[in-house]
Chain A
Amino acid sequence: MPDQVLFGIEAATNGLMAGVMYSLVALGFVLIFKASGIFNYAQGVMALFAALTLVGLQEGQVPFAHLINAIFGTEVHHFGWHMPALLAILLALAVMVLFAILVERYVLKHLVNQEPIILFMATIGLAYFMEGFGDLMWGSDIKKLDVGLIQGINATIDETTYNWFGYGFYIDNLDISATIVAAILVTVLVLFSQYTKQGRAMRAVADDHQAALSVGISLRFIWVLVWSIAGFVALVAGIMWGSKSGVQFSLSLIALKALPVLMLGGFTSIPGAIVGGLIIGMGEKLFEFAIGPMIGGATENWFAYMLALIFLVFRPQGLFGEKIIERV
């Protein structure tokens, strides 16, 4: 096989894996949008906050250390423990659930029946609040996240492909784990929303609040549930991105990459978020590989947005979104 084709396949495979990472972020958006019609601008920051909390717990960092030291003149920084990854993940999840409860109690409850734009503005406020709060709580330095995921080149794939084609593909182990995790996550989420009573209630709330109340669904419970699940997805995304590139404030910007994924896949479709992520991830890498050199490279910065723009023109509901029907 000619080298160019092999490079192309490698780029496509890596693109698919990167796409999975985008999908993970997009999933959180879809969940909240489906259940409450809110475009949650804070989803990216939630991933950052979850990752910060995870690292903090794992490394035994004292929360609000700077504040405490400044007020009391002490010098506390660490509790001096090192928590097992699994325990830290569970505790971080508990923090995200607590966060969901607080958001419902202090933000959403007061904005019932408001326009979507008002709720959107509220999530922008929430995003900046969380960014500052995360900073205050855990400090603003870049942190290394290690929950025991293997990183680096996958030797088996490298060898196998070398034996077949005489050229070893570079596939990162972390990307493979991300793919497996995403597949499990999506399966669980889809089964949950289709086959459990809470899942059915979630879909009902998404459609009609009044009717949902009348069949015995507590809106407040469902909102806490939805934000908790979104928090859980944010935690998973935070772990994956944090392991890959460290936990730092630029992590919150991955939300921007999720936008074109959503436009492609549709804001209301869980499978759409996955397929959208894969298409964008792969398209990005292939475009850079094939067309990039001709136009000076760096196409990855804008390719996703351009693709989303084209979709907006020809299929505004996305690939899997619910068709927009207006009865007149």
Chain B
Amino acid sequence: MTQDGYTTPDGRKIGSVVMEMKNITLRFGGVVAIKDISFDIREGEIRAIIGPNGAGKSSMLNVINGFYHPQEGEIWFHGARRAPMKPYEVAYQGIARTFQNIALFKGMSTLDNIMTGRLTHMKAGIVAQAIWKGAAEREETANREAVEKIIDFLEIQHIRKTPVGRLPYGLQKRVELARALAAEPKLLLLDEPMAGMNVEEKEDMSRFILDVNDEFGTTIALIEHDMGVVMDISDRVVVMDYGKKIGDGTPDEVRNNQEVIDAYLGVAHD
């Protein structure tokens, strides 16, 4: 692996470092959720963070996303150190995410939900929107086109007008992914995208994640505790256990790491 990126076994070019976490420590009162963790995410990469329940994976995603602010450590994004930010400011920096327990706008249609993902791309002032002329109209048209492209891509044309509260779980997950994609993120965070899915849905979701990465070149960081799926789709994997990093590398390297095997299979401590 060189400083300027690497080539994956399947021949994709991985670029320079997009985001770098340096010595992140996050505490809730006396509980240490993340302890002195460093890793980087490179452009065009599918980066996974895995670990058993309670390892601090979601906390890590929330740190990247701005929901939590670490007590120690630095976050570097696109070559600049990031000051502590609110989640909506992080969104404007080009980081979009999905949630483990699906956080959609349940009363709104699929289309409207995905349109909210375009908010960071809407610039027209309130007056321009009110008279619906010129820039505002062009902007809305452009946004609609971008959204339609994503709807086609994720094969959810048939539920465009359906209120998302009525959709089955698997489709809701897909709408959430669509909303995050609509932001054309520089970094896409997926919090357990396969949680609660059956085998077929998991395969669909894996395919979409790979396609998104392939088609749009989106950099993706995902959390999963289903080892099998993760190893199949990710380029590099960070393994966490009890808030600490116990492994980092390609799926093969991680798979053969003794500490990782212990953490997953359990080991008698003496």
Q: How far is the CA of A36 from the CA of B182 in the complex (A)?
A: 25
Note all chain B residues with C-beta closer than 8 A to A200: 112, 115-116, 119
Chain A residues with CB under 8 Å of B124's CB are 197
Contact of A208 with B103 in the complex, beta carbons under 8 Å: yes
Q: How far is the CB of A280 from chain B (nearest CB, A)?
A: 26
Docked complex: B102-149 residues within 8 A CB-CB of A: 103-108, 112, 115-117, 119-120, 122, 124, 126, 129-130, 132
Chain A residues with a Cβ closer than 8 Å to the other chain, count: 25
Which one of B68-76, B84-92, B197-205 is at the interface?
Answer: B84-92
| Interface of A: prevailing SS | helix
A206 at the B interface (CB under 8 A)? yes
In the bound complex, CA of A323 to CA of B122 (Å): 31
For the complex, what is the distance from the CA of A192 to the CA of B112, rounded to whole Å?
Answer: 14
The interface bits of chain A over 190-230 (1 if a CB of B lies within 8 angstroms of the residue's CB, else 0) are 01100111101101101110111111111100000000000
Smallest Cβ-Cβ distance to B183: which chain A residue? A215
Instruction: List chain A residues, Cβ under 8 A from B208.
Output: none
Residues of chain B with a CB closer than 8 A to A207's CB: 104-108
Q: Are B87 and A206 in contact, with the CB atoms below 8 A?
A: no
Q: Does A322 contact B (CB under 8 A)?
A: yes
Q: How far is the CB of A278 from chain B (nearest CB, A)?
A: 25
Closest to A225 in B: B126
**What number of B residues sit within 8 Å (CB to CB) of A?**
32
Given A197-B129, A200-B112, A207-B105, the answer on whether A214 and B65 have CB atoms closer than 8 Å is yes
Complex Cα distance, B105 from A307, in Å, reads 33
Of A191, A196, A203, A216, which is within 8 A of B107 by CB?
A203
- B165–A198 touching, CB < 8 Å: no
CA distance A201 to B92 in the complex (A): 14
**If the complex has contacts A201-B116, A215-B119, are A325 and B96 also in contact, measured as CB distance less than 8 A?**
no
Asked if A213 meets B165 with Cβ closer than 8 Å, knowing A197-B119, A203-B105, A203-B108, the reply is no
Chain B residues contacting A191 (CB-CB under 8 Å) are: 130
Is B35 part of the binding interface, using a Cβ–Cβ cutoff of 8 Å?
no
Bound form: Cα–Cα A164–B99 in Å: 66
Task: Please determine whether B122 and A197 come into contact, CB atoms closer than 8 angstroms.
Answer: yes
With A214-B91, A215-B117, A215-B179 given, is the CB distance from A204 to B105 under 8 Å?
A: yes
Query: Chain A: which residue is nearest B98 at the CB level?
Result: A214
The closest CB in chain B to the CB of A209 belongs to B103
Q: How far in angstroms is the closest Cβ of chain A from B172? A: 11
Contacts of B129 in A (CB 8 A): 195-197
Instruction: Name A322's contact: one of B86, B107, B120 (CB within 8 Å).
Output: B107
Cβ–Cβ < 8 Å partners of A197 in chain B: 119, 122, 124, 129
Is residue B97 contacting chain A, with contact meaning CB distance below 8 A?
yes
The reply to whether B88 and A216 contact each other, CB–CB distance below 8 Å, is yes
In chain A, what residue has the closest Cβ to B112? A200
Q: Are B108 and A204 in contact (CB under 8 A)?
A: yes
In the complex the two chains form, is A211's CB within 8 Å of B88's CB?
A: no
Residues of A within 8 A of B99 (CB): 210-211, 214
A210-B116 Cα distance, complex, nearest whole Å: 13
Chain B: CB-nearest residue to A200: B116
Q: Can you list, as one digit per residue, whether each of A214-254 has a CB less than 8 Å from chain B (1) or not (0)? A: 11111100000000000000000000000000000000000
Chain A residues whose CB sits within 8 angstroms of the CB of B165 once the complex forms: 325
Please give, as numbers and ranges, the residues of chain A lying within 8 Å of B115 by CB-CB distance: 200
List 22 contacting pairs A-B, 8 Å CB cutoff, sorted by A: A191-B130, A196-B126, A197-B122, A200-B119, A201-B119, A204-B105, A204-B108, A206-B105, A207-B108, A208-B104, A208-B105, A212-B105, A213-B87, A213-B88, A214-B65, A214-B97, A214-B180, A215-B96, A216-B91, A217-B116, A218-B86, A218-B88
